[in-house]
Amino acid sequence: MRKVLGRAVDDQTRCVHYRTDLDIVAIRFRCCGEFYPCHLCHAETADHAAEVWPPGEYGTDAILCGVCRCTMSIRDYLEADGCFSCSAPFNPGCRLHKHLYFGTEES
């Protein structure tokens, strides 16, 4: 089982910051390779600054579904509304924070 760091409050990767029924995603941070439930958990417990994933690395399996524990690529996650393995829905509000985890193409 993949370890999720930070202030998780249950075994589906919910944390003290985001804990609705749909908050079931942990993200592997590029800077350290560790999974955290959210950017706030990383900021509170890691000893370094977070790095965003550049678009050229969107094929990396960096998303963990808290329900079935499968991993998916960043690209698949950004294009999905839920887990491709177990169909659990993801929180659509997470899209508001994607800039904290994933870089964008320069124009």
pLDDT tens digits for range 34-65: 999 999 999 999 999 999 999 999 999 999 99
Residue 59 belongs to domain spanning: 25-100
Tell me if 69 is assigned to some domain. yes
Q: How far apart are CA 48 and CA 14, in angstroms?
A: 22
Instruction: Provide mean pLDDT across the span 75-89.
Output: 96
Amino acid 15: pLDDT: 96
Q: Is residue 66, in this structure, part of any structural domain at all?
A: yes
- Does 51 reside within a domain? yes
Q: How far apart are CA 56 and CA 69, in angstroms?
A: 25
State the Cα–Cα distance between residues 107 and 11, nearest whole angstrom: 40
Number of domains present in the structure of the chain: 1
pLDDT for position 8: 80
Q: Is the pTM of this model over 0.75?
A: yes
Which helix or strand (DSSP H or E) is residue 54 part of? none
Q: Tell me if 6 is assigned to some domain.
A: no
How far is residue 56 from each of residues 40, 64, 66, 70, 91, measured CA to CA in Å? Answer: 25, 20, 25, 22, 25
Give the contacts of 95 (CB within 8 A, at least 6 positions apart). Answer: none
Does residue 5 lie in a domain region?
no
CA torsion through residues 31, 41, 3, 97, sign: negative
The pLDDT of residue 106 is above 60: no
